[in-house]
Amino acid sequence: MAVDQLKDSDDIQTLIDEGKRKGVLTQEEISDTLSHHEDLDADTYEDLLQTFADEGIRVIDKVKDYSIPLADPITHPDAVLAHEAVIPE
């Protein structure tokens, strides 16, 4: 199956649209969608991954791999300054 044919399918186009919206797709999301395409070969899979890259979509293993750790509000420098600030009466 050619990647152009694959991209024309509704489920793949939905996946691409979702990836554009979020900026990332997980391997699981891709695998779940591709499980409906039994005739997919390794070359077409690689071409599809390249399509994601061309569209600016990062492919990650898990959602937590993409998360950005939040600063601890207790140890964040701005929080300490705010905590130590003297509030005039």
pLDDT over 50 (residue 84): no
Q: What is the DSSP letter of 61?
A: S
Q: What is the DSSP letter of 64?
A: G
Q: Domain for residue 29, yes or no?
A: yes
Q: Model confidence over 14-54: pLDDT tens digits?
A: 999 999 999 999 999 999 998 888 888 889 889 999 999 99
3-state secondary structure of 75: coil
| 45, two tokens | 């899979």
Alpha helices (H) along 1-89: 3-7, 10-22, 27-34, 42-54, 77-84
Q: Give the pLDDT band of residue 61 (cuts 50, 70, 90).
A: confident
What is the number of structural domains in the chain?
A: 1
Q: Domain for residue 41, yes or no?
A: yes
Q: Model confidence over 45-55: pLDDT tens digits?
A: 899 999 999 99
Tell me the residue range of the domain where 42 lies.
Answer: 3-84
* Separation of alpha carbons 76 and 69, rounded Å: 12
Q: Give the pLDDT band of residue 85 (cuts 50, 70, 90).
A: very low
Q: What is the pLDDT of residue 58?
A: 93
Q: Domain for residue 89, yes or no?
A: no
C-beta of residue 83 within 8 angstroms of C-beta of residue 49:
no
